[in-house]
């Protein structure tokens, strides 16, 4: 799965980006932040969907961390005005957001799409704002390898 250093780097990055998302927004109980980890395998050239929760958040950012690095770069974001795919996304396959969700679809996955994908989501609930982080380690297999 992930090494302690990779988890620490991702956590540090997400905490660094969180103030940008919630500037001026008070989260009543910081212990209620959700951290969800998953690992997925996909064959090169196939398609994959990476989930970012079961509800559509008000704001979300999908980031990508290349293996062997600790910096994450935004590939898709939505600050409430529709999803915007960033130029980096072109090297990761054909990225899009599945309509009425915040799930990331990658079509024709290239071998270079391997890495850690992180969705930072801010939801408005009856109890106030809720922040969730979804971490997906994507492994890209040769077409001959089993899933």
pLDDT in tens, 49-58: 999 988 899 9
- Tell me the whole-structure pTM to 2 decimals: 0.77
> For residue 17, what is the DSSP state?
H
Dump strand ranges (E) for the chain: 34-43, 48-50, 59-65, 72-78, 84-85, 94-97, 104-107, 115-125, 128-141
Question: How many Cβ atoms from other residues are within 10 Å of residue 67's Cβ?
Answer: 12
The pLDDT of residue 142 is: 86
Express each pLDDT in 30-56 by its tens digit: 567 889 999 999 999 999 999 998 889
Residue 80 has pLDDT above 90, yes or no: no
- Determine the pLDDT at residue 73: 93
pLDDT at 14: 46
- Whether the predicted pLDDT of 129 surpasses 80: yes
Q: How far is CA 83 from CA 45, 57, 106, in A?
A: 24, 12, 14
Q: Predicted confidence band at 29 (pLDDT cuts at 50, 70, 90)?
A: low
Q: Provide the token pair at 115.
A: 């890495």
What number does CATH give the domain 4-141?
2.60.40.10
**Domain residue spans of the chain:** 4-141
pLDDT value for 97: 94
pLDDT of residue 136: 97
């Amino acid at each position: 799965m992930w090494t302690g250093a990779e988890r620490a780097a991702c956590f540090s990055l997400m905490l660094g980006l969180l103030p940008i998302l919630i500037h001026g927004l008070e989260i009543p109980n910081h212990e209620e932040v959700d951290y969800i980890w998953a690992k997925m395998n996909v064959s090169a050239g196939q398609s994959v969907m990476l989930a970012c929760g079961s509800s559509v958040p008000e704001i979300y950012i999908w980031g990508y961390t290349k293996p062997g690095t600790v910096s994450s770069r935004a590939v898709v974001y939505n600050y409430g005005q529709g999803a915007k795919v960033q130029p980096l996304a072109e090297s990761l396959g054909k990225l899009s957001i599945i309509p009425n969700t915040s799930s990331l679809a990658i079509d024709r996955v290239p071998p270079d799409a391997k890495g850690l994908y992180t969705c930072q989501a801010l939801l408005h609930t009856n109890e106030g704002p809720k922040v969730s982080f979804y971490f997906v380690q994507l492994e890209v297999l040769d077409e001959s390898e089993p899933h």
